[in-house]
Structures are given as structure tokens and as C-alpha cells.
Chain A
Amino acid sequence: GESVGLHLPTLSVQEGDNSIINCAYSNSASDYFIWYKQESGKGPQFIIDIRSNMDKRQGQRVTVLLNKTVKHLSLQIAATQPGDSAVYFCAETKGAQKLVFGQGTRLTINP
């Protein structure tokens, strides 16, 4: 079926440490993946994306890794800051059609 799931619903990290948020997807035909960050009371905010012909993409303090063999996506956040506290969603799509979202991982930063 179509579903994008996340391995952990919550993740707590120390400020300054690196965070890794994981996501498993089920549709092997998906060709585009996005990570969104949603802070309380706000809509999802685009973080980074990756196409299926890539296995890694880097942004500012964030890296997305795609493993098509095991249908796994991860978001790495370097030097996690208090402002990174949010719920992170992965989403998949094929051919610019609708996005299918995972359930989200709540990232908490400990001082």
C-alpha cells in the first residue's frame, strides 16, 4: 500500500550533538522525497529534498540520505540547536503528484 513510516515517534538529543531521524517508505516507485519541519502552531516547513537518482544531498547543517535498496530515508542534523525542536516529517511522491507523509518524529533538544 502507500505509506511512509518513521522508526521512532520521539527523539531526544543533547544540544550540540548530531541528530538522525529515520524514515521507511513502501512505494518503490516514488521518485522524490522531502523532509519537512513542523513547529508548534505552524505549517510544515520545507527542509531538504532528494530525488531517487541520488543517494545523498547536503544542505546547511542538514543531510538527507536515501537507500533505495532497503527503502530507507534519513535526515541528519549537525550540531543540533534549541531551534531544531519540532516534529519532522518525511514525504514521498511520484511524478509531482500528491505527497504521502509519514507519522512524524518529535525531536527534543536537551540543554
Chain B
Amino acid sequence: KAGVTQTPRYLIKTRGQQVTLSCSPISGHRSVSWYQQTPGQGLQFLFEYFSETQRNKGNFPGRFSGRQFSNSRSEMNVSTLELGDSALYLCASQLAGVETQYFGPGTRLLVL
């Protein structure tokens, strides 16, 4: 079974721009969670989607948003990028009702 895939793997943007990241979960996994990883803050939860609905949300500003499609693929969007948004963005998928989350390789975003 293919693992979680994320595209693109690397991105360079400038302040004020917006960015969209994509995540394809493991086949059969309907829950997708997004995390931001930085050296200073570690892994922080952004939001979780299940069956196209946001089920859980972390403590991030409204510039961070996401959505999930009927095939369980998910996208996250960051608008009006700030330098501090530079991070590794990780997507994880899980089976319904099962706690274990499986991560993709991440998208490394650099904001200049």
C-alpha cells in the first residue's frame, strides 16, 4: 500500500504570497491531519479533516486553512505568508477510529 504523499516537497515563497500544499492519504484512510514543524516550536497540530469536515483545529491564525475532498485528499492553504511560516508542513492520515497516524515526508516551505 502506498504511503502518505505530499506535494510539492519544497517551496520558496515571498512574504505576502499565499501557498497551497497537497496531501494524499493512505488508501482507505479518511482522516487527515496537518502539522507544522519548526526547530523552535517542534511539531504543532494545525487541523484535522474527516469526511470532508474539519473535526479538530489547533491554535493557529485564520491565515491557515484547509479542506478535504471526497476522495480524502486534503489541501492546506496559507495566505499572506510571513517569515515565521517557514517550516516543514507534515500531513498524517489515519483509519477511522484508530489512533495511529502515519506521516508523509512533508513539504518544506521557505518564506523570504
Which A residues fall within an 8 A CB radius of B?
32, 34, 36, 41-46, 49, 89, 91, 93, 96-104
Contacts and interface: CB of A to CB of B under 8 A. Distances in A.
Contacts, number: 54
Interface of B: 4, 33, 35, 42-45, 48, 56, 58, 90, 92, 94, 97-106
B104 A49 contact: no
Given A89-B43, A103-B42, A98 B58 contact: yes
Nearest to B91: A43
Given A96-B97, A98-B33, A43 B45 contact: no
Contact of B45 (A34, A100, A102, A104): A100
10 contacts: A34-B99, A36-B103, A43-B105, A43-B106, A44-B90, A89-B43, A93-B99, A96-B98, A96-B99, A99-B35
Given A43-B92, A43-B103, A96-B98, 12 more contacts: A32-B99, A34-B100, A42-B106, A43-B4, A44-B103, A46-B101, A97-B48, A98-B45, A98-B48, A101-B35, A101-B44, A104-B42
A98 B105 CA distance: 19
Contacts of B4: 43
Contacts of A104: 42
A4 B97 CA distance: 23
B45 to A, nearest CB: 4
A46 B102 contact: yes
